[in-house]
Structure 1
Amino acid sequence: MNLSATDLRFDPLLPWGVIAALAGLALLVAGFALWRGLRGWAWRGLAGLAAALALSAPALEIGSRTGLSDIVLLVDDRSASQGLPERDNQTTAAIDALSQQITALPGTELRRISVGDDPDGTLLGTALSRAVAAEPEARLAGVITVTDGLAHDPDMLPADLPAPMHTLLTGRPQDWDRRLVIEEAPAFGLIDQEVSIRLRIQDQGAVPADQRGQSVSLRISLDGEQEQVVAVPVGTSLELPLTLGHAGQNVVQIGFDAPEGGELTDRNNTAAITINGVRDRLRVLLVSGEPHAGERTWRNLLKSDAAVDLIHFTILRPPDKSDGVPVNELSLIAFPTRELFLERIDDFDLIIFDRYRVRGILPPDYFQNIVRYVRDGGAVLVAAGPEMASVESLNLSPMGAVLPARPTGRVIDQAFTPQLTDAGRRHPVTAGLPGAPDENGENGWGRWLRMAEVTPNPDAEVVMTGADDRPLLVMNRQGEGRVALLASDQVWLWARGFEGGGPQLELLRRIAHWSMKEPELEEEALEADVSGGLNVDFTRRTMADSAGPLTITHPDGRTEDLPLAPDGPGRFAAEWSAPQPGLYRLVDGDLGRVLALGPAAPKEFERTIADAGALGDLSRATGGAVLNLSDGTPDLRTVAPGRNAHGRGVARDWIAVTPRDAATVTGLQRRPLLPGWAWLCIIFGLILAGWLSEGRGGGKWLPSGPRREV
Structure 2
Amino acid sequence: MSGMSVIFAPLLPWPAIWAAGGVALVLLALALWRGLRGWALRALAALVLLAAIAQPSLQREQTAPLSDIVLLIDDRSASQTLSDRAAQTDTALANVQAQLDALPNVETRRVTVKDGAENAGTELGAALSEALASEPRARVAGAVVISDGQAHDAALAPDLPGPLQLLLTGRAADWDRRLVIQTAPAFGIIGEESSIRLKVEDQGKVPASIGTKAKLTISIDGKNPKTYDVNVGRDLELPLTLDHGGQNVVQFTLTPVEGELTTRNNTATVQINGVRDRLRVLLVSGQPHAGERTWRNLLKSDAGVDLVHFTILRPPEKQDGVPVSELSLIAFPTQELFVDKIDEFDLIIFDRYGARGILPSSYFDNIRDYVERGGAILVAAGPEYATVESLYQTSLGSIMPARPTGRVLSESFLPRPTELGLRHPVTAGLKGAPPPADKAKDDAKAPHWGHWLRQVELSDPKGEVVMSGADGKPLLVLSREGKGRVALLASDQAWLWDRGYDGGGPQLELLRRIAHWEMKEPELEEEALYAEIDPGALSMTIVRRSMKDDVPPASVTLPDGTVQDVPLSQSAPGRFTARWTAPGPGLYTLKDGDLARVVAMGPASPREFEQTIASGEPLAKAIAASGGAVTRLEEGIPRIREVAVGRATSGRGWIGITPRGARATTDIRVQPVLPAWAWLLLAALLTLGAWMIEGRGRRMA
Which has the larger displacement, 473-482 or 75-84?
A: 473-482
Q: Which residue of 2 aligns with 1:57?
A: 55
Q: Which residue of 2 aligns with 1:623?
A: 627
Distance 1:51 1:417, change over 3 A: closer
Q: What is the distance in 2 between the residues matched to 1:500 and 1:179?
A: 61
Q: Which residue of 2 aligns with 1:290?
A: 287
Q: Which residue of 1 aligns with 2:320?
A: 323
Distance 1:191 1:56, change over 3 A: same
Q: What is the distance in 2 between the residues matched to 1:482 and 1:526?
A: 21
Q: Which residue of 2 aligns with 1:706?
A: none
Q: What is the distance in 1 between the residues matched to 2:382 and 2:157?
A: 75
1:687 Cα deviation from its structure 2 partner: 6.1
> Secondary structure of 2:224's partner?
coil
1:615 Cα deviation from its structure 2 partner: 1.1
Counterpart selection for 2:68 from 67, 70, 75: 70
Report matched runs for 1:187-336 at 5 Å: 187-213=186-212, 215-260=213-258, 262-319=259-316, 321-326=318-323, 330-336=327-333
Which has the larger displacement, 595-604 or 407-416?
A: 407-416
> Secondary structure of 1:96's partner?
helix
Q: Which runs of 5+ in 2 are unaligned?
A: none
Distance 1:490 1:668, change over 3 A: same
> Secondary structure of 1:642's partner?
coil
Q: Is the contact made by 2:75 and 2:114 (CA closer than 8 Å) also made in structure 1? A: yes
Instruction: Say if 2:662 is the partner of 1:662.
Output: yes
Residue identity opposite 2:18 in structure 1: G
Q: Determine which structure has more spread, i.e. the larger CA radius of gyration.
A: 1
1:677 Cα deviation from its structure 2 partner: 5.3
Distance 1:330 1:383, change over 3 A: closer
Residue identity opposite 2:88 in structure 1: Q
Q: Which residue of 1 aligns with 2:641?
A: 637
Q: What is the distance in 1 between the residues matched to 2:44 and 2:465?
A: 122
Residue identity opposite 2:360 in structure 1: P
Q: What is the distance in 2 between the residues matched to 1:89 and 1:290?
A: 82
1:492 Cα deviation from its structure 2 partner: 3.6
Q: Which residue of 1 aligns with 2:98?
A: 100
Q: Which residue of 2 aligns with 1:605?
A: 609
Identity %: 57
Q: Which residue of 2 aligns with 1:86?
A: 84
Distance 1:272 1:333, change over 3 A: same
Q: What is the distance in 1 between the residues matched to 2:568 and 2:181?
A: 35
Q: What is the distance in 2 between the residues matched to 1:58 and 1:463?
A: 101
1:607 Cα deviation from its structure 2 partner: 0.9
Q: Which runs of 5+ in 1 are unaligned?
A: 703-710
Which has the larger displacement, 11-20 or 197-206?
A: 11-20
Q: Which residue of 2 aligns with 1:584?
A: 588
The two structures have a TM-score, normalised by structure 2, of: 0.91
> Secondary structure of 2:336's partner?
helix
> Secondary structure of 2:488's partner?
strand
Instruction: Say if 2:353 is the partner of 1:356.
Output: yes
Q: Which residue of 2 aligns with 1:477?
A: 480
Distance 1:363 1:209, change over 3 A: same
Q: What is the distance in 2 between the residues matched to 1:607 and 1:319?
A: 76
Q: Is the contact made by 2:145 and 2:165 (CA closer than 8 Å) also made in structure 1? A: yes
The two structures have a TM-score, normalised by structure 1, of: 0.90
Deviations 1:514-572 (A, max 9, x none): 11223332212223222252221222111122123111112222221111101121110
Instruction: Say if 2:29 is the partner of 1:28.
Output: yes
Q: Which residue of 2 aligns with 1:567?
A: 571
Which has the larger displacement, 407-416 or 251-260?
A: 407-416
CA RMSD of aligned residues (A): 2.8
Q: How many residues align?
A: 687
Q: Is the contact made by 1:22 and 1:48 (CA closer than 8 Å) also made in structure 2? A: no
> Secondary structure of 2:460's partner?
strand
Q: What is the distance in 2 between the residues matched to 1:42 and 1:299?
A: 118
Counterpart selection for 1:523 from 515, 526, 535: 526
Q: Is the contact made by 2:65 and 2:662 (CA closer than 8 Å) also made in structure 1? A: yes
> Secondary structure of 1:374's partner?
helix
Which has the larger displacement, 428-437 or 670-679?
A: 670-679
1:469 Cα deviation from its structure 2 partner: 3.9
Q: Is the contact made by 1:388 and 1:452 (CA closer than 8 Å) also made in structure 2? A: no
> Secondary structure of 2:272's partner?
strand
Residue identity opposite 2:29 in structure 1: L
Distance 1:560 1:677, change over 3 A: same
1:172 Cα deviation from its structure 2 partner: 1.1
Q: What is the distance in 1 between the residues matched to 2:180 and 2:699?
A: 107
Q: What is the distance in 2 between the residues matched to 1:44 and 1:613?
A: 74
Q: What is the distance in 2 between the residues matched to 1:497 and 1:686?
A: 113
> Secondary structure of 2:605's partner?
coil
Residue identity opposite 2:80 in structure 1: Q
Q: What is the distance in 2 between the residues matched to 1:656 and 1:530?
A: 49
Deviations 1:454-485 (A, max 9, x none): 3223xx22222344544332212234322111
Q: Which residue of 2 aligns with 1:166?
A: 165
Q: What is the distance in 2 between the residues matched to 1:223 and 1:402?
A: 33
Q: Which residue of 2 aligns with 1:453?
A: 458
Q: Which residue of 2 aligns with 1:647?
A: 651
> Secondary structure of 2:618's partner?
helix
> Secondary structure of 2:544's partner?
strand
Q: What is the distance in 2 between the residues matched to 1:107 and 1:321?
A: 112
Which has the larger displacement, 526-535 or 407-416?
A: 407-416
Q: What is the distance in 1 between the residues matched to 2:179 and 2:562?
A: 23
Distance 1:121 1:548, change over 3 A: farther
Q: Which residue of 1 aligns with 2:147?
A: 147
Which has the larger displacement, 119-128 or 392-401?
A: 392-401
Which has the larger displacement, 302-311 or 137-146?
A: 302-311
